[in-house]
Amino acid sequence: MKFIRSEIPDVIVCEPTIHGDDRGYFLETFRQDKLEEFLGTKLNFCQDNESKSNKGVLRGLHYQLPPFEQTKLVRVISGKVLDVAVDIRKNSPTFGKHISIELSAHNKRQLLIPKGFLHGYVVLENNTIFSYKVDNYYAPDHDRGIAYNDPDLAIDWKLGTDELQLSKKDRVQPAFKTLT
């Protein structure tokens, strides 16, 4: 597995080595030892989550307040998404900056998103299955979000507003400036 620092160096793109032939393929989707060696820190994933969605579903932008912040390792099992991470660490030189990357069943990339980031994704193909590991349990009382379409973030979700499907919760998230 190859680990690549993104434009925001703490967000890591994980590219697996795919061993394929006419029978199919094999790959390791997670190697804790290799990832920890690359990061220079320990990880302790405790919960796996999975969602299935159709094209246009946008989930995010979400985060959890301390002490329930989460590091996430996200991937797509089938289909395709545009995955987005936004730095909300107030003392970070990349505060308010985001990265977006296409994750798909085809490219098999994963994204490691550390604590202190908003996370969201928009589904680009029907019947997409999205999976992720987290290092802290879901804590509904500490769950928060920011508006996906906040002009200060200027995220290009690659789909028109009329194509997006959002939960009631995600339609009424506050502005990014509430974090500053």
Structural tokens at position 135: 């290092």
Question: How far apart, in whole angstroms, are the C-alpha atoms of residue 148 and residue 69?
Answer: 19
List residues with catalytic annotation: 62, 132
Question: How far apart, in whole angstroms, are the C-alpha atoms of residue 87 and residue 85?
Answer: 7
Cis peptide before 39 (omega within 30 of 0): no
At 118, phi and psi to the nearest 5? -75, 150
